[in-house]
């Protein structure tokens, strides 16, 4: 089967930076047990690789405060690339634990914009995936930051500000966000919008629409919890509504769906920003070898 590999592929700069920082941090504190408060980036392959270096990801569904309480004395702690509640840093300091902030610079910029709006006396409407670590981090900034989904039924009863600041998660669909901003504008005409979608996310979403029209199937490659990969998958399903669209993590996910590929002569592969290029290339090689 012929394969078309979308550009870009491999890590975005924020993911590359987070991984490099984590490895350097572990090397510096190699005598300490090292933990990430969650998944450093949302890709299971990356989490597994970090584990080989002694960097353990705490991904159980409990609060970060509870995770910290369970850590051994003298632990070295890494905050994920998605941002975090800054009060957690004080908690770690009180326990004499060293820590690394691996937050993506784009996420940090988004947080800075929200803090400025709060300082200017504005209420903030945040558009993000509920319970996603980036969303949780942004909502922790101030009590006047409100999640859009919580306001949908009666926005005006909560948002008294006539010019609220509207921000968004950096990995959302830029196309979906336009519709949400329009709905907010209808309720609060004076709202001030800041589309925080990172450039890498925009480029990959645009790449979906540039995939060849003569493909029979599209493979979207990424972690199951990766927001930007999920949005690529949703966009691919919408844009190529008559094609077979598959969401996979690695080449091992191909065998269970092989029967579904019968009759497919050409496919396209697009990957999320936290997907290792090595994994994407293994998938390409395996698909190239199919009939």
What's the CA gap between 288 and 282, in Å, rounded? 10
Burial group, residue 35, by CB count within 10 angstroms (0-12, 13-18, 19+)? buried
Cβ atoms 97, 34 nearer than 8 A: no
Active site residue 89: no
Residue of 89, 90, 108, 134 with catalytic role? 134
SS3 34: strand
Sequence-distant (≥ 6) Cβ neighbours of residue 285 within 8 angstroms:
251
Give the span between the Cα atoms of 49 and 113, in whole angstroms: 34
Q: Which two tokens stand for residue 166?
A: 């509207």
Nearest of 238, 234, 173 to residue 201 by alpha carbon: 173
Specify whether the CB–CB gap between 191 and 185 falls below 8 A.
Answer: yes
**Quick check: 134 and 83 in contact, CB under 8 A?**
yes
Dihedral sign (CA 224, 279, 38, 56): positive
Residue 144, SS3 per DSSP: coil
Residues in the chain: 291
**Could you give the residue numbers annotated as active site?**
134
């Amino acid at each position: 089967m012929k394969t078309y590999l979308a550009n870009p592929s491999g890590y975005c700069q924020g993911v590359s930076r987070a991984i490099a920082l984590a490895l350097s941090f572990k090397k510096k504190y190699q005598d300490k047990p090292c933990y990430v408060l969650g998944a450093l980036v949302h890709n299971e392959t990356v989490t597994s690789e970090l584990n080989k270096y002694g960097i353990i990801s705490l991904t159980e569904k409990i609060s970060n405060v509870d995770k910290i309480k369970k850590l051994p004395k003298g632990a070295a702690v890494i905050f994920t690339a998605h941002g975090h509640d800054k009060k957690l840093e004080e908690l770690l300091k009180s326990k004499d634990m060293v820590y690394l902030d691996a937050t993506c610079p784009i996420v940090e910029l988004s947080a800075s914009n929200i803090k400025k709006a709060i300082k200017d006396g504005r209420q903030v409407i945040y558009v993000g995936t509920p319970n996603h670590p980036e969303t949780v981090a942004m909502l922790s900034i101030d009590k006047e930051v409100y999640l859009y989904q919580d306001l949908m039924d009666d926005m005006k009863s909560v948002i008294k500000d006539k010019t609220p600041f509207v921000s968004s998660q950096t990995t959302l669909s830029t196309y979906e966000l336009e519709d949400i901003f329009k709905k907010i504008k209808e309720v609060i005409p004076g709202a001030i919008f800041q589309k925080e979608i990172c450039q890498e996310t925009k480029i990959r979403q645009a790449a979906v629409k540039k995939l060849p029209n003569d493909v029979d199937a599209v493979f979207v490659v990424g972690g199951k919890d990766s927001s930007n990969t999920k949005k690529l998958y949703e966009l691919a399903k919408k844009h190529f509504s008559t094609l077979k669209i598959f969401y996979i993590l690695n080449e091992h996910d191909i065998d269970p769906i092989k029967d579904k590929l019968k009759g497919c002569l050409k496919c396209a592969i697009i990957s999320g920003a936290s997907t290792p290029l090595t994994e994407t290339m293994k998938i390409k090689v395996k698909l190239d070898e199919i009939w």
